Structure 1
């Protein structure tokens, strides 16, 4: 029987995941319909489906509602309970099963969401299945979920110990020099995964790493600060703690602990691009040791620092420039056979982790590199941060195409353009002059243009950034 006025799913099912307000957009009924639709889309009737969730107050009940919808369409649900997003990727990869993770990542407590994976931790974007899931769920909300002959089963599984052990196999930290690390978990899932992976909570051997914990208590209300380390305001406590404790470095995880941000011993942020360059170099060297011949591909999105591609090329590998966005990069990881991928937003992807992103694994690589040499992290960071960048600057514009056209007209005589993910403008500079480039990308959901710029000197960066912003905001 048709139901009156079901919730419209279109406003909160985004390009890469589901992200909505609890109660008004995401309800038990909506989540149950999405569970049923997901099983249909990934052909999981009669097969296992992984369901995990973060520490938000609404997450356990949403996981239960999703399980009910999935089982109603014949999926056999494996509940892995409280976990980080990359734990669901581990479960999806190791069990070769599709997965759903309940989290709104770094968003405030009033939000929740779902990150979907096909079997083997393969990403699902709007173009590769998320739209179909949305449309099926919308129909189920209106018409009801059709019954199947065999309702699915349900079991529980704890994957934390196996996850931690697997990461320890990928990066050996047992022989590094003793280091002191402050970790800000932001009351998110890093409070559970860090003690398991970097300490002894999962029964693994002790490492030469002293962990000084900050906000490890799991609390989906985020009482100390938002679990969004991309915002400088949210790493102030970490920066102070690193200095107060005389630590070698600090790590900050977002709410679902799939992204990791780094500060050095002076409390200064190490850019995600610099981290990507360090990890890329390590992965290239590791693979080349066992594969002396043949091409090695490494992915970077188009707004990472130029140093990332330069590092990849200098190490004898092939840089592959891509769009921004985790589902798109996962697709490219699979298509190119890339061994690693890095984004400006601190998402790091590994072939040895089913092509999925894992902030903990990136942190482990950084700890291994830092701990195998005598210099402070600030020196290592400076080596991989030779250029200056603007960071992302958002501008509200009434007409995005018109603003982009103004950029083209203004820079046509002095720059080259490409249209991979927005518009990238690269200056045609003479030998000895500072290079510069900038990218403008429209938001998927708001009337915004996002500007990212980089140059070889602060003076040139300031001039290019200010000129571009003036044109955008004209």
Structure 2
């Protein structure tokens, strides 16, 4: 059984969530113990629980609910849900929550994303390690057990998103690739409220909407270019205005323009930042350090305050709370909204993009020209013998570069007027991750190749 080995428990409790293979690393007993531990650590009287479409998710969610109820908490089961739908339930109902999903991981995996009331994150620095330790020291049920009830929040979730980002204007043809993930459930309900397939603002062209945790068509991970190929072809074949791709739990959204071109999440960050600043002039906007410099430039041009953070949702959410930022964007396709309890929502990002496009008479590629200025490499991973020594070698090589500024907010960032790059170590693997941006393609390519050559001279 997975829970008999303390080392295994430590292995599945990650920096931001619980994740592992089923049933050898994560099983129903571990889930049950986690439910009880979560109630004790979070001092929760009520917990909201949702799950994705993976075959292992319903029994794991049920076991968690049983453990939480044994510990004295009432449990509200919202059933099949996207992760941002669970965040909505946590925020709207005011209760801590647990979402059973392994996001974009293969079918053999599952996991638990936990949050406190109001969708506040639970990570290694905010309670997850205490929950892990409590799992290893289970306590017998004490007092009266809580109740377990069912509640459907999907319609309320859809209505809330459209209040935050209404879509009106010209009719759009939209191809959506759900990747057999949870957007196959949420997208039809959201899109029907803005016209759906019967008319109105949106004509929906669905792809892979069948909920199937074995992912028969492609991995539900749109950050990988090969997983966008089907959508890109379909957008062009349908003569559609836009394509949207969601990951397995639908908390991330990637966009394809009418020409079939993949849109950088940095470009979407700039677009959404402009819309949020139009509603609240002068507000702060969060961007992580590998987002295009076009984002802070645009925010400044529009009178807002750009706030730079490390990579990772816990850092972004913390800085949002500190600065009261209206919005935050990451290169990974996560977009965070203050009015959505500072949580990330792929669907809300999609609605902002549709709203901007529907209110314009330009194509998406033309519209986004306003939000693009530089050339990004995308993230490039290199396996090295000693990430720390390799990072030091890169710093030594660039320390004397004329006009360069070096900083260590997250790994090493080297910035000049014409280019910048960031190299940072993986938290879990002997990898270094490189991101480069240049004023033009030639500059980006030159810097990318130079840094990669240096990094890979230390390859394993």
Sort the TM-score into its range (normalised by shorter chain): over 0.9
Compute the displacement of 1:92 (Å): 0.5
Secondary structure at 1:454 match in 2:
strand
Distance 2:334 2:218 in 1: 21
1:456 equivalent in alignment to 2:449: no
Change (3 A) 1:204 1:148: farther
- Name the residue aligned to 2:158: 164
Aligned to 1:377: 364
Task: Say if 1:436 and 1:456, in contact at 8 Å, map to a contact too.
Answer: yes
Equivalent in 400, 403, 409 of residue 420 of structure 1? 409
Residue 37 of structure 1: aligned partner: 37
Q: Which residue of 2 aligns with 1:292?
A: none
CA distance in 1, matches of 2:280, 2:441: 36
User: Which of 177, 188, 193 in structure 2 is aligned with 1:184?
Assistant: 177
| Aligned residue number for residue 284 of structure 1 | 277
| Contact 2:242/2:258 (8 A) holds in 1 | yes
Residues 232-255 of structure 1: CA deviation (Å, up to 9, x unaligned): 111111001001110011000100
1:332 maps to 319
Identify if the C-alpha distance between structure 1 residues 356 and 218 changes in structure 2 by more than 3 Å, giving closer, same or farther.
same
Over residues 52-97 of structure 1, what are the superposed CA-to-partner deviations in whole Å (9 max), with x where a residue is unaligned?
Answer: 0000000000000000111111111100000000001000001110
Partner of 1:126: 124
1:184–1:216 Cα contact (<8 Å) kept: yes
Q: Which residue of 1 aligns with 2:265?
A: 272
Give the C-alpha shift of residue 152 in structure 1. 1.2
Q: CA deviation at 1:257?
A: 0.5
Conserved 8 A contact 2:195-2:202: no
The aligned counterpart of 1:231 is: 224
> Could you list the per-position Cα deviations for residues 298-325 of structure 1 after superposition, in whole angstroms to 9, with x for gaps in the alignment?
1011111111111111110100101111
> In the alignment, which residue of structure 1 is the partner of 2:64?
66
Asked if residue 310 in structure 1 is aligned to residue 297 in structure 2, the reply is yes
User: What is the alpha-carbon distance in structure 1 between the residues aligned to residue 197 and residue 137 of structure 2?
Assistant: 48
Contact 1:161–1:202 (8 Å) recurs in 2: no
SS in structure 2 at match of 1:467: helix
Which of 394, 407, 413 lines up with 1:407 in the alignment? 394
User: Does the residue aligned with 1:169 lie in a helix, a strand or coil?
Assistant: helix
User: 1:105, 1:255 within 8 Å by CA — same for their partners in 2?
Assistant: yes
2:349 maps to 1:362? yes
Which residue in 1 is equivalent to 2:451?
A: 468
Aligned counterpart, 2:306: 319
Counterparts of 2:447 and 2:5, CA distance in 1: 50
| Alpha carbons 1:164, 1:202 under 8 Å: kept | no
Deviation at 1:12, TM superposition (A): 2.0
Q: Secondary structure at the match of 1:8?
A: helix
Deviation per residue, 1:142-196 (Å, 9 max, x gap): xxx32211211111100000001111111221x3101101000000000011111
SS of 1:120's equivalent? Answer: helix
Quote the Cα distance in structure 1 between the aligned partners of 2:371 and 2:194. Answer: 33
When the two structures are aligned, how many residues end up with a matched partner?
A: 453
**Equivalent pair of 2:18/2:112 in contact (CA under 8 Å):** yes
Return 14-23 or 196-205, whichever deviates more: 196-205
Q: How far has the Cα of 1:327 moved from its partner?
A: 2.1
Residue in structure 2 matching 1:198, options 167, 170, 191: 191
Aligned residue in 1 for 2:204: 211
**RMSD over equivalenced CA pairs, Å:** 1.7
Matched, 1:251 2:244: yes
| Residues in 2 aligned to 1:35 and 1:277: alpha-carbon distance in whole angstroms | 39
* In structure 2, C-alpha distance between the alignment counterparts of 1:315 and 1:88, rounded to whole Å: 33
Distance in 2 between residues matched to 1:6 and 1:318, nearest whole Å: 46
Q: Deviation of residue 6 (structure 1)?
A: 5.3
User: What residue number does 1:9 align with?
Assistant: 9
Larger mean Cα displacement after TM superposition, 55-64 or 379-388: 379-388
Deviation at 1:417?
Answer: 1.1
Q: Which residue of 2 aligns with 1:148?
A: 142
Distance 1:205 1:168 in 2: 18
> C-alpha distance in 1, partners of 2:222/2:456?
28
Gaps of 5+ in 1: 289-294, 430-434
Q: CA deviation at 1:21?
A: 0.5
Equivalent residue runs for 1:100-115 within 5 Å: 100-115=98-113
Instruction: Summarize deviations over 1:375-403 as a string: whole Å, max 9, x none.
Output: 11111223322111110000101111100
2:422 is paired with a residue of what secondary structure? strand
Tell me if the contact between 1:422 and 1:441 (Cα under 8 Å) persists in the aligned partners. yes
Q: How far apart in 2 are the matches of 1:217 and 1:120? A: 30
Task: Give the CA deviation at 1:210.
Answer: 0.2
1:463–1:231 CA distance, 2 compared to 1 (3 A): same
